[in-house]
Chains A and B, each alone.
Chain A
Amino acid sequence: MDLFLQFLANGLVTGTFYALSALGLTLIFGLMRVVNFAHGEFYMLGGVLGWFVTAHLGLDFFSGLVLVAVVMAGFGWLVDRVLIERVRGQGEEPGILLTIGLSIFLANTALLLAGTAPQKIAGPLPNAPVFLGPVVLTEMRIFAVAVCAALILGAHLLIKKTKLGRAMRATFQDPMAAQLAGIKTARVYASTFALGSVLAASSGMLLGAIYSAQVTVGGIVSLKAFVVVILGGMGSFAGAIVGGLLLGVAEAFWGGYVSTGMVDIIGFIIVILTLIFKPYGLFSARAERA
């Protein structure tokens, strides 16, 4: 039983990270209909930049996180205005090709500049164990989960409660009506892409402090984010959170009780089952149209 609780706790911790990294992907898809294959590279950039600003510029973790968020917001904005803008309204395929190209470019540029060695980001808290009954976690992990939860909540409030969030939803539901209301839709798209980039990069930096930041990590991160988004439903906020937690817990149990060597297979099993039984995911608004 104690082992079960420990696996559950580990799974929920990892699941929170999955949820945050998938959130950016699902937002960009849900609001802009862009399937962003460079999502994992945005996560990677967050980690590598996080390592650079803390280890080389000497910033503390929080200032570093803020700086990375600002830089990645600007980067996401530019990617949208300079690249995505050109394929807007042409269906999903041109966007997919474009972001695949971007992911290759980013991964190789990072490889050239930062090298292949994994880099540990100095976290604000030690990896000292914390005992919660029979469950052991580290201070840094609890802290990272709290930051993830805060970022998820912040993104939720931004979309539901602010003027920019309303403009985002309006642009997604009916871009023409949004223009007629005076909304500059090009700015809304760029802001959405910037927000998605910030969420991906923040989770990259947080996890870089727990595991390590590595330039080759993009592929696996994209893969997991797609698993979560397919499970939860493309474009669904709640789906990304529940999907992330489910994937985290499923992997923890599989790793704990079955085999640690083949943990990544769980994601593929989930995707296959979802596509067979619930092809629009658990929470998709499009389910009734299926």
Chain B
Amino acid sequence: MNQNTSPLLQVRGLHVAYGKTAALHGIDLEVGKGEIVALIGANGAGKSTTLRAISGLLKPTAGSITWEDKPITGWSADRVVAQGIAHCPEERHIWPAMTVKENLMLGGFLCRTHAEVEERIGMAFHRFPRLRERQKQLAGTLSGGEQQMLAIARALMSEPRLLLLDEPSLGLSPKMADEVFTVVQEINAHGVTVMIVEQNVYNALSVASRAYVVETGRISASDSAANLLQDPDVLNAYLGA
């Protein structure tokens, strides 16, 4: 990361608990403008919990989250998204009984005018032509890959500067997963910073510039993606090499 500019997102000593069970024990991380940063780690390590705390779905018990030099710790999810952080959650969470177009319209819920919503939907259809074809279909009838594209397109409707992507390749065929990762790189090339959580470590490291390794609620390592791909410990633990 370029050390000369202050990071877009800064997380310091983040603690989160589910009831009395602590899930995060002091996460520290930074995301710089324009990066793709991956969080990798085993199931239950706290990757998704970290994203959920950043986007306001969970209230941290301690620590701070700073976004563009502004403290946003403990803000509700609807305020965080208004600040330019979109969270595309695990398992997609599209609205199944609404049409593709309605899903996108709601993604642009915070737009002030209808024209703005329509303009962004036009951009989404441009990026995902298949969604245009299926715009009147109920979202629940889409294939897994199409649902993931819809979930990403919906998150982009808020025109975020940071996109939090949780397990975008979950349950997809390798070919579909490749398509999703290509889309992620395209989105990043258009200036959107991306933080991605993936169990498919190889895929995550091949699109990310940097990555943090999360283990039992702590960051156990952080390095450039290229270095991590060479690291025997990481290869052993997550790539089965």
Cβ–Cβ < 8 Å partners of A182 in chain B: 77-78, 81-82, 109-110, 158
Cβ–Cβ < 8 Å partners of B97 in chain A: 169, 173, 285
Cβ–Cβ < 8 Å partners of A167 in chain B: 106, 109
- Cβ distance B162 to chain A, nearest Cβ, rounded Å: 13
Given A166-B105, A170-B95, A179-B78 contact (CB < 8 Å):
yes
Q: B217 interface residue, CB < 8 Å from A?
A: no
Interface residues of B in 92-108 (CB under 8 A from A): 93-98, 102, 105-107
Q: A174 interface residue, CB < 8 Å from B?
A: yes
Q: A177 interface residue, CB < 8 Å from B?
A: yes
Additional A-B contact list (10), CB under 8 Å, known A169-B97, A182-B109: A173-B95, A177-B89, A177-B95, A179-B56, A180-B87, A180-B155, A181-B81, A181-B106, A182-B77, A182-B158
Cβ–Cβ < 8 Å partners of A180 in chain B: 55, 57, 77, 81, 86-87, 89, 93, 155
The digit string for A159-201, where 1 denotes a CB below 8 A from any CB of B, is 0000100110110011011111111110000000000000000
Jot down 13 A-B pairs with beta carbons below 8 A, ordered by A: A166-B106, A169-B95, A173-B98, A176-B93, A177-B93, A180-B55, A180-B86, A180-B87, A180-B93, A181-B158, A182-B109, A183-B106, A183-B109
Interface residues of B in 78-129 (CB under 8 A from A): 78, 81-82, 86-87, 89, 93-98, 102, 105-107, 109-110
Docked CA distance A166–B154 (Å) = 14
Given A177-B89, A180-B89, A181-B154, A166-B81 contact (CB < 8 Å):
no
Question: Which B residues lie at the A interface, using CB under 8 A?
Answer: 55-57, 76-78, 81-82, 86-87, 89, 93-98, 102, 105-107, 109-110, 154-155, 157-158
Interface residues of A in 108-136 (CB under 8 A from B): none
Cβ–Cβ < 8 Å partners of B81 in chain A: 180-182
- Cβ distance A107 to chain B, nearest Cβ, rounded Å: 36
Docked CA distance A132–B96 (Å) = 46
Q: Chain A: which residue is nearest B96 at the CB level?
A: A173
Cβ–Cβ < 8 Å partners of B157 in chain A: 181
Q: Which of A169, A176, A183, A185 contacts B98 (CB 8 A)?
A: A169
B76 touches A179 (CB 8 A): yes
Docked CA distance A237–B109 (Å) = 24
- Cβ distance A91 to chain B, nearest Cβ, rounded Å: 17
Given A181-B81, A182-B82, A176-B95 contact (CB < 8 Å):
no
A181 touches B102 (CB 8 A): no
- Cβ distance A160 to chain B, nearest Cβ, rounded Å: 10
Cβ–Cβ < 8 Å partners of B107 in chain A: 181
Docked CA distance A177–B158 (Å) = 13
Task: Sort A-B residue pairs by CB-CB distance and give the 9 closest, nearest first.
Answer: A179-B77, A177-B93, A182-B110, A182-B81, A173-B95, A182-B78, A181-B109, A182-B109, A180-B87
Docked CA distance A170–B77 (Å) = 15
Cβ–Cβ < 8 Å partners of A185 in chain B: 78
Docked CA distance A167–B111 (Å) = 13
Interface residues of A in 133-152 (CB under 8 A from B): none
Docked CA distance A26–B94 (Å) = 24
Cβ–Cβ < 8 Å partners of B89 in chain A: 176-177, 180
Q: Chain B: which residue is nearest A177 at the CB level?
A: B93
Cβ–Cβ < 8 Å partners of B82 in chain A: 182
- Cβ distance A256 to chain B, nearest Cβ, rounded Å: 41
Cβ–Cβ < 8 Å partners of A179 in chain B: 56-57, 76-78
Cβ–Cβ < 8 Å partners of B56 in chain A: 179
Among A180, A182, A183, A184, the most chain B Cβ lie within 10 Å of the Cβ of A180
Given A182-B110, A183-B109, A177-B94 contact (CB < 8 Å):
yes
